[in-house]
Amino acid sequence: MDLSTSMRTHMCGSLDSSDIGSVVTVCGWVDRRREHGEHLVFIDLRDHSGVVQCVVDGSHDLRSEYVVQLTGEVRRRPTDTANPDLATGEIEIEVSEVEVLSIAEPPPFPLDERTEVDETIRLRHRYVDLRKARMQRNLRIRSQVNSAIRRGMESQGFVEVETPMLMASSPEGARDFVVPSRKEPGSFYALPQSPQLYKQLCMVGGVDRYYQIARCLRDEDLRADRQFEFMQLDAEASFVGQEDVFGFISHAIAEATEVVTGVRPTDFPRISWLDAMERYGSDKPDVRFGMELVELTPVFARTEARVFQAPCVKGICMPGGVDALSRNQIDALVETCQRWGAKGLAWMKVVERDSSVVLDAGVAKFLTAEESTAVISALGAGVGDMVFLVADDRRLVRHVLGLLRLELGRPPVNEGGLHYLWVVDFPLFEGFADDGSPLPAHHPFTMPHPDDLELLEIGGDALADVRSQAYDLVLNGWELGSGSVRIHRRDIQNQIFTCLGIEPAEAQRKFGFLLDAFGYGAPPHAGFAFGIDRLVALLAGEANIREVIAFPKTQSGADPLTNAPSPIDSAHLTELGLRVPR
Ligand code: ASP
Tens of pLDDT, residue by residue over 461-497, are: 888 889 999 999 999 999 999 999 999 988 888 888 8
Share of residues in the chain with pLDDT > 90 (%): 82
Q: What is the pLDDT of residue 362?
A: 81
Atom of ligand 1 nearest to the CA of 199: 8
How far, in Å, from the CA of 235 to the mean position of ligand 1? 9
Distances in Å between the Cα of 54 and the Cα atoms of 36, 81, 270, 474 are 11, 13, 55, 47
Helices (H), ranges, 421-502: 453-458, 490-499
Furthest-apart CA pair in the chain: how many Å? Answer: 91
Main-chain phi, psi angles of 272, to 5 degrees: -80, 155
Q: What is the pLDDT of residue 67?
A: 98
How far, in Å, from the CA of 449 to the mean position of ligand 1? 18
How far apart CA 233 and CA 215 sit, in angstroms, is: 9
Contact between 264 and 250 (Cβ < 8 Å): no
First to last CA, the chain: 56
Choose which residue among 158, 229, 232 to substitute to test ligand 1 binding: the one with the highest number of ligand atoms within 8 A of its C-beta. Answer: 232
Convert the pLDDT of each residue in 27-63 to its tens digit: 999 999 998 877 899 999 999 999 999 999 999 999 9
Q: How would you class 37 by CB atoms within 10 Å of its CB: exposed for 0-12, middle for 13-18, buried for 19 or more?
A: exposed
Distance of alpha carbon 365 from the chain centroid: 44
Q: What is the pLDDT of residue 294?
A: 98
Convert the pLDDT of each residue in 67-76 to its tens digit: 999 999 999 9
pLDDT at 422 over 90: yes
Protein residue whose Cα sits closest to atom 7 of ligand 1: 483
Atom of ligand 1 nearest to the CA of 216: 4
Choose which residue among 153, 172, 248, 532 to substitute to test ligand 1 binding: the one with the highest number of ligand atoms within 8 A of its C-beta. Answer: 172
Protein residue whose Cα sits closest to atom 6 of ligand 1: 483
Choose which residue among 442, 469, 482 to substitute to test ligand 1 binding: the one with the highest number of ligand atoms within 8 A of its C-beta. Answer: 482
Main-chain phi, psi angles of 323, to 5 degrees: -80, -30
Give ligand 1 pocket residues (Cβ under 6 A).
172, 194, 196, 482-484, 527-529
pLDDT at 453 over 90: no
How far, in Å, from the CA of 411 to the mean position of ligand 1? 29
How far apart CA 288 and CA 410 sit, in angstroms, is: 8
Residue 355 vs residue 292, higher pLDDT: 292
How far apart CA 484 and CA 393 sit, in angstroms, is: 30
Atom of ligand 1 nearest to the CA of 484: 7
Q: Residue 423 CB: number of other CB atoms within 10 A?
A: 25
Choose which residue among 231, 234, 238, 473 to substitute to test ligand 1 binding: the one with the highest number of ligand atoms within 8 A of its C-beta. Answer: 234
Protein residue whose Cα sits closest to atom 8 of ligand 1: 528
How far, in Å, from the CA of 489 to the mean position of ligand 1? 19
Q: What is the pLDDT of residue 384?
A: 96
How far, in Å, from the CA of 482 to the mean position of ligand 1? 6
The arithmetic mean of pLDDT across residues 115-128, rounded, is: 95
How far, in Å, from the CA of 76 to the mean position of ligand 1? 57
Atom of ligand 1 nearest to the CA of 195: 1
How far, in Å, from the CA of 483 to the mean position of ligand 1? 5
Atom of ligand 1 nearest to the CA of 446: 7
Q: What is the pLDDT of residue 319?
A: 97
Residues 6+ apart with CB under 8 A from 148: 252, 255, 256, 258, 259
**pLDDT-derived band of residue 431, with 50, 70 and 90 as boundaries?**
confident
pLDDT at 23 over 90: yes
Strands 159-160, 209-217: pairing is parallel
DSSP conformation class of 279: H
Strand-pairing partners, residue 52, are 45
How far, in Å, from the CA of 455 to the mean position of ligand 1? 25
**pLDDT-derived band of residue 342, with 50, 70 and 90 as boundaries?**
very high
Atom of ligand 1 nearest to the CA of 236: 8
Q: How would you class 53 by CB atoms within 10 Å of its CB: exposed for 0-12, middle for 13-18, buried for 19 or more?
A: buried
How far, in Å, from the CA of 500 to the mean position of ligand 1? 19
How far, in Å, from the CA of 517 to the mean position of ligand 1? 19
Q: How would you class 451 by CB atoms within 10 Å of its CB: exposed for 0-12, middle for 13-18, buried for 19 or more?
A: exposed
Residues 6+ apart with CB under 8 A from 500: 437, 438, 439, 440, 444
How far apart CA 81 and CA 235 sit, in angstroms, is: 54
Protein residue whose Cα sits closest to atom 4 of ligand 1: 194
Q: What is the pLDDT of residue 430?
A: 86
Is the torsion defined by CA of 447, 452, 454, 458 positive or negative? negative
Q: What is the pLDDT of residue 325?
A: 95
pLDDT at 199 over 90: yes
How far, in Å, from the CA of 196 to the mean position of ligand 1? 6
For all residues of the chain together, what is the average pLDDT?
94
Q: What is the pLDDT of residue 56?
A: 97
The arithmetic mean of pLDDT across residues 199-223, rounded, is: 96
DSSP conformation class of 434: T
How far apart CA 31 and CA 63 sit, in angstroms, is: 9
Convert the pLDDT of each residue in 489-545 to its tens digit: 888 888 888 888 888 898 888 888 988 999 999 999 999 999 999 999 999 999 999
How far apart CA 42 and CA 58 sit, in angstroms, is: 9
pLDDT at 432 over 90: no
How far, in Å, from the CA of 275 to the mean position of ligand 1? 23
Q: What is the pLDDT of residue 442?
A: 82
pLDDT at 114 over 90: no
pLDDT at 81 over 90: no
Q: What is the pLDDT of residue 113?
A: 81
The arithmetic mean of pLDDT across residues 165-192, rounded, is: 91
